[in-house]
Amino acid sequence: MITIVVPTYNRAYTLKLVVHTFFEQEGVSEIIFVNDAGTDNTHEIINEVAKKYNNIRTVYLKNNVGKGAAYSRMKGVNESTNEYVLFCDDDDFLEPGYANVCHKKIIEQGASIVSGRHLYRLQKENLSDAVQRFSTGISKQRTFDKLRFKINTDACFQGDLIVPFTHGIFMSTKSLLEKYGLDSFYSKGNGFREETDVQFRAFIDGHNILVTNEVHAVHLHPSEVRHGGQRVSRLKRFYWTIFYTNYFFKKYFDESRKKLNIPYNKTIAILLYSIVETYVFFIRPFIILPARVVQRLQR
């Protein structure tokens, strides 16, 4: 059976919209919510919904002070009573079958970490319409962008794909998560690369990480997520993105160069990364580069 772990912070208003899709997942017998010292009515919302699902063990934990998502996720992992753990966010719907499909991929394909696809819904778009619109992706970008060291979640591909890491709505085993842990260093700002860190460590050590087109997690439209979580301003988001990537590269870049066939060293990597992110955050919103230039940058 499967445990869902949901870190949350002042997101009762988004949980109220999405949480039923967690409780309706086939194969899930336990859901653990970890409130990172939030002050809203999250506990009340969880209790209200949990009453309708008596067959599922619902656990509510709360940090006395803010510890960040990584700490909260691991707190949930340590509390879980199942071997399979699916991390969910407090502002994402899960398509029916998400947990069960991820579990089957781990069993049948020997993957250590599995996720479905991840997309944003349009305003007032329902879950099934969002999934149908997205299908197998809506972008021709490469799935893994070596220059930005990120997964293009919109990338179009068929079937299942092995990747260096995936997004934050992923399943793994409790034993693997306890072995590697989630690094609480990513506790401030936007927590960028918090969920990537543990996945990439597993990838470097030879574990298979898989993304499947069979199921989807659908994020609320940005206009529906006003506050809470790890929302910060654009300038602060840029700062933390560079800050955490520099830390991430210090930990893993040298080990990953050969595995990912990257020709330049760590110093050049962070320099190139900073240049590209400066463009993405502060220039791209106002100009459009020719497609061929963007494609060259992503190679």
Any domain includes 27: yes
Average pLDDT over residues 89-111: 98
Count the domains in the chain: 1
271 within a domain of the structure (yes/no): no
Domain annotation covers residue 280: no
Q: Which whole number is the average pLDDT over 25-36? A: 98
pLDDT tens digit sequence for 246-264: 999 999 999 999 999 999 9
Residue 294 in domain: no
Residue 19: partners with Cβ closer than 8 Å, 6 or more residues away: 6, 45, 46, 49
Q: Retrieve residue 228's tokens.
A: 């809470």
Mean pLDDT of 90-115: 98
pLDDT of residue 297 exceeding 50: no
Give the residue, 21 or 232, on which the prediction is more confident.
21
Query: Do 298 and 142 contact (CB within 8 A), yes or no?
Result: yes
Residue 13 inside a domain? The answer is yes
Radius of gyration of the chain (CA): 19
Of 222, 213, 212, which is closest to residue 125 (Cα–Cα)? 222
Check: CB of residue 205 under 8 Å from CB of residue 82: no
Q: Is residue 100 part of a domain?
A: yes
- Note whether 183 and 140 are within 8 A (CB): no
pLDDT for residue 296: 52
pLDDT digits (tens, 9 = 90+) for 47-84: 999 999 999 999 999 999 999 999 999 999 999 999 99
Q: Is there a domain that residue 281 lies in? A: no
pTM for this predicted structure? 0.94
Measured in whole angstroms, the distance separating CA 76 from the mean position of its chain's CA atoms is: 16
pLDDT for the residue 292: 52
pLDDT tens, position by position, 212-229: 999 999 999 999 998 887
Mean pLDDT along residues 13-41: 98
The domain spanning residue 169 has which CATH number?
A: 3.90.550.10
What percent of the chain has pLDDT above 70?
96
Report pLDDT for 228.
82
Report the candidate in 162, 164, 73 with the shortest Cα–Cα distance to residue 110: 162
Copy the structure tokens of residue 103. 């579990």
pLDDT of 298 higher than 50: no
Q: What is the mean pLDDT of residues 101-124?
A: 97
Query: Which residue, 87, 112, 111, is CA-closest to 98?
Result: 87
**pLDDT on residue 286:** 77
Residue 128 in any domain: the answer is: yes
Average pLDDT over residues 278-298: 68
For residue 244, the one-letter residue type is Y
Evaluated on CA atoms 153, 107, 248, 228, the torsion sign reads positive
Range of the domain at 43: 2-231
